[in-house]
Amino acid sequence: MIKVDEKGFYGKFGGAYIPEMLHPNIEELRENYEQIVATDEFQKEFKSLLKDYVGRPTPLYFAERMSQKYGAKIYFKREDLCHTGAHKVNNTVGQIILAKKLGKKRIIAETGAGQHGVATATVCALMGMDCTIYMGALDIQRQRPNVERMKILGAKVVPATSGSQTLKDATNEAMRQWINNPVDTHYIIGSVVGPHPYPEMVARFQSVISEEIKWQLKEKEGTENPDLVIACVGGGSNAAGTFYHYYNVPQVRLIAAEAAGLGISSGKSAATTVLGTPGVLHGSKTLLMQTEDGQVVEPHSISAGLDYPGIGPVHAHLFDIGRAEFVAVEDEDAMKAGIELSRMEGIIPAIETAHAIHALNMIEYRKDDIIVINLSGRGDKDLDTYIKWGGY
Amino acid sequence: MNRIHTLFQNKKERVLSIYFTAGFPELEDTLPVMQAIQNAGADIIEIGVPYSDPIADGPTIQDSNMIALENGMSLKKLFEQLNTMRESISIPVVIMGYLNPIIQYGMEAFCKKCQELGIDGLILPDLPVQQYLEEYQELFEKYGLANTFLISPQTSEKRILEIDQNSDGFIYMVSSHSITGAKSGISEEQIVYFKRVKDMNLKNPRLIGFGISDSETFTKASTYSNGAIIGSAFIKVIKDSKNLAEDIKNYIQSVIQ
């Protein structure tokens, strides 16, 4: 049974390894979130916003041409059609309602590709809450359109200039700012990382993805269970949402696509399950890319959203017990898969998502297997990267 | 007997603990900095183990961590440097470090090495009380290492009592809602918090840290506790120092005068 335990662990991974200064914040959240989320009032508001504001349910689309090419029944879960262009908003809607119920006045968040930052700035605008987004200085350069979107939405974007100047450093900075503002501020973490209860809470808000896949597939194929589900993993929020209702359905294979960057042994990679060892980062014990001395290694991926040296503790656990299969997709292959999806189905995916598409070439499956790929985000934000790459 | 316990038995007020980052400003400065801290009259040396992701630290200590890592500092290197430490250092020495590098070294190997070298205590800011009790308390005790926990203005009375119960050595009172080096001066609100904790009559001595930088803040903090810890302000002193021994002596003596 895959389930978080009372102390916040999935098997060996998880927990809440945080400085004492954050203990009251985390405790407040842990004590209140389950109770608040369980109320009819919360569920009503959450569901109503997901429907009318986010645009759920997102379609489960049968991709005929791709199916023919790969000899399987391929469905795309169209999270790219969510308001703001990616699955990230499912979680920010949930957390902003929670923050309001906790009486918080200010929101802070970290962002990598900028999708979570945009999704956070969006719900803050919706609720009239003050919003500050921490973003690695390097990511600010390579995700310019999202930076401007956040600013248009009224958020303050603060560059994280320490370390590798990417997602991990933005997360460090957001945690520091939470320490500095513990009372009136809620920290909306965007992935299934961080101290307990964040990984489980974010996974629950994202679990609407697999909840919908189940009934949508039932309508189309007469079964709730595909043979495989595929999702990309940086921290792992879209994968957690896609896997959630299948964790404990053993006949459904769970495939996670990590970013191999320039190649596993190139020194420029973000393939955590291949290169990582157990360690503690951002408040939880998980698999982590690090040196022998326990210093966190700066990861690389062409996609800013997968450029993270760890994975959520639930994914470390799924890997550890062999429940999920992990593949590592190189930059070049992901870019080509993005073009393939564009040309064959008329959908330009986010580069993160393109990693999940390429996984089709790296795994074995039976003819006519039903495969659901989570199309976590659209490629608008990545046009600069596509243009720079130029291979189309 | 552990040197921390002896210290607090003999000295109940104006105890000064100085934090610095190992291997900073130069790799081989670790021991000379410790000697200078001792010679200048401080009571406790707190050696910071540099880490790539120090989430409780502000820019000053972040920078010193980055520079120390670039210099080639690691736990292994630090232990080499401390091999002959007790030939010249007689005051209590505490290691402060984030959990991950220590886990990679191996917690038991780490504790054993600390004992061999004459380290008296540990401050691991991201080791929560519960995890300490479940996984590490026995090890720390086996190797005679006093464990210090942090408390902040947000820490509930109930939790302070729990921390007091499970602390050994001293309690590290974080002076405000803040990371290291973020605020300077001491406000009325902070004094209310200092008094509140003082009146709890805890069994462990208390040192106040974060925002302590000079004689005035040191004296103010010491009024409501057994003393204070200086980190960021000290790092600034040694950062561009041309004469470490002299600058450290002048700075520390200006604080404790």
Q: What is the ipTM of this complex?
A: 0.93
Task: State pLDDT tens for residues A251-284.
Answer: 999 999 999 999 999 999 999 999 999 999 999 9
Place A1 in a pLDDT band, splitting at 50, 70 and 90. confident
Which spans in chain A are helix H? 23-38, 40-49, 64-70, 88-101, 115-127, 137-142, 144-152, 167-180, 198-206, 208-221, 237-243, 272-275, 313-320, 331-345, 351-358, 383-389
Domains and CATH numbers, chain A: 9-50+88-202 (3.40.50.1100), 55-85+208-389 (3.40.50.1100)
Q: What is the CATH T-level fold of the domain B3-256, as seen in this structure?
A: TIM Barrel (3.20.20)
Question: DSSP letters along A185-235, please?
Answer: EEE---SS-SSTTHHHHHHHHHTHHHHHHHHHHHHHHS-S--SEEEEE-SS
pLDDT for residue A157 is more than 90 = yes
Percentage, residues of chain A above pLDDT 70:
100
Mean pLDDT of chain B: 96
Q: Per-residue confidence at A288, pLDDT binned at 50, 70, 90?
A: very high
What's the pLDDT band for A134 if we cut at 50, 70, 90? very high
Least confident residue range of A139-148, A187-196, A246-255, B98-107: A139-148
Which of A12-21, A262-271, B176-185, B234-243 has the weakest average pLDDT? B176-185
Of B54, B102, B155, the CB nearest to A20: B155
- The pLDDT of residue B257 is 87
- The strand pair at A324-330 and A253-261 is best described as parallel
Residue by residue, what is the 3-state secondary structure of A362-379? Answer: CCCCCCCCEEEEECCEEH
Taking the Cβ of residue B27 and every Cβ of chain A, the question of whether any pair is shorter than 8 Å is answered with no
Phi, psi (deg, nearest 5) at residue A32: -105, -25
* Interface contact B53-A21, CB threshold 8 A: no
User: What is the mean pLDDT of the segment spanning B226-245?
Assistant: 97
Under an 8 A CB cutoff, do B182 and A180 touch? yes
- Residue B236 above 90 pLDDT? yes
Question: Does the distance separating the beta carbons of A179 and B56 come in below 8 Å?
Answer: yes
The predicted model gives A332-344 an average pLDDT of 98
Question: Looking at A79, A110, A325, A345, which residue is catalytic?
Answer: A110
Give the catalytic positions of B in this structure: 46, 57
pLDDT for B177 beyond 90: no
Q: Can you give the pLDDT at residue A143?
A: 84
Domain boundaries, chain B: 3-256
For chain A, the average pLDDT equals 96
